[in-house]
């Protein structure tokens, strides 16, 4: 089965981060507190559906869809 990513969440839903598909981006995300095992919640999307706002590690983070899709969740 295809692994789910953050973009598969609906507004208000949460998932648990299981890994990253993009090496460069993952270094940045890890340093910003997006760790595997952390809960991540999809808050809302910008007017044209991109970027999106998620809650992780106690704060709000904005990501483009092509960035969010690299965060795998369980």
Binding site for other proteins (CB under 8 A): 23-33, 35, 39, 43-44, 46-48, 50-51, 53, 55, 57-64, 67
CA-based end-to-end distance of the chain:
12
Cβ closer to other proteins: 8 or 43?
43
Shortest separation between residue 20's beta carbon and other proteins, angstroms: 9
Cβ closer to other proteins: 2 or 10?
10
What lies within 8 Å, CB to CB, of 52 at 6+ separation is: 6, 7, 42, 43, 44, 45, 46, 62, 63, 64, 65, 68
**51 preceded by a cis bond (ω within 30 of 0):** yes
Cβ closer to other proteins: 21 or 44?
44
Shortest separation between residue 4's beta carbon and other proteins, angstroms: 20
């Amino acid at each position: 089965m295809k692994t789910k990513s953050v973009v598969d969440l609906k507004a208000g839903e949460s998932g648990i981060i299981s890994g990253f598909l993009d090496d460069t981006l993952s270094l940045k995300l890890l340093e910003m507190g997006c760790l595997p095992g952390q809960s991540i919640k999809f808050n809302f999307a910008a007017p044209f559906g991109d970027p999106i706002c998620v809650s992780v590690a106690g704060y709000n983070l904005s990501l483009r869809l092509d960035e969010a899709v690299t965060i795998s969740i369980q």
